[in-house]
Amino acid sequence: MPRKKRFYQPGVPVHVSQRGHNKEPVFFDDQDNLAYLRFLKAAADELACLIHAYVLMTNHVHLLVTPKTENDISVLFQKIGRHFVPYMNKTYRRRGSLWEGRHKGHILESEAYFLICMRYIEMNPVRAAMVEHPGQYRWSSYAANAQGIDNAILQRHVLYLALGETSEMRQAAYRAGFDIETHPDEIELIRACLHSGTPLGNDRFKKKIESAIGGAVGFSKRGRPTVRGLN
């Protein structure tokens, strides 16, 4: 069965995730997380990919990335894997697959979903009942985006910068977005698009992508929920 075509486009943000083989853990202690982030930064810098948000969970990762070319996302994961998999194999004297096949990902309509997707990623530890607040979880971009902690991996997107005139104003506005509970339909839609690879946006956005790639992108589900909490 042929692999489904990726719909990545230069300059269009992509939400991507990669899960451990058979949902097994891929991080066991802090050094593993630090190693992954080191390899992520090196690969992103080499490719000039812009990392806007991330979270490292026990058995999977989520990233929000703007690629420079349509192939950058796949190459990014390849470069990370070339270093992280041997690191894990050597550290834990393991063999076999670490990741469960290819990464999953979908492009998204920036104006409607970019900030929602950032919060979706950084709220993963809360939804998994690992912490009560995203600020309590060390291995995500929340501390940088919401609290101003230095993070050399991240690059600010124009929509994040538009949240305020100063860093303090942007951080406050971004934190305020977490006070609004994400609607279950929004979470379901993000998950459906991630699983299917369907672009996340309205029909006009999808038709624009279809025109750019010269083919149909399909739909994960018809319609879209009301977008809330963008202020």
CA-angle at 117, arms to 114 and 121, nearest 5°: 140
Q: From CA 27, how far away is CA 57, in angstroms rounded?
A: 8
Residue type (1 letter), 35: A
Residue type (1 letter), 102: R
Tokens (6 digits) for 3:
């692999």
Per-residue confidence in pLDDT tens, the chain, 231 aa: 445 567 799 999 999 999 999 999 999 999 999 999 999 999 999 999 999 999 999 999 999 999 999 999 999 999 999 999 999 999 999 988 899 988 999 999 888 899 999 999 999 999 999 999 999 999 999 999 999 999 999 999 999 999 999 999 999 999 999 998 888 999 999 999 999 888 888 778 777 777 777 666 665 443 444 333 322
pLDDT at 5: 64
pLDDT at 214: 67
What 3-state DSSP class applies to 150?
Answer: coil
Mention every residue, 6+ apart, whose C-beta is less than 8 A from residue 50. 44, 65, 66, 155, 157
Tokens (6 digits) for 145:
């985006």
Q: From CA 126, how far away is CA 132, in angstroms rounded?
A: 6
Q: Domains plus CATH for the chain?
A: 14-213 (3.30.70.1290)
Q: Are strands 14-19 and 60-66 parallel, antiparallel or unpaired?
A: antiparallel
Could you tell me if residue 129 is left (phi over 0), alpha (psi between -120 and 50 degrees) or otherwise beta? left
Q: From CA 28, how far away is CA 190, in angstroms rounded?
A: 27
pLDDT at 137: 98
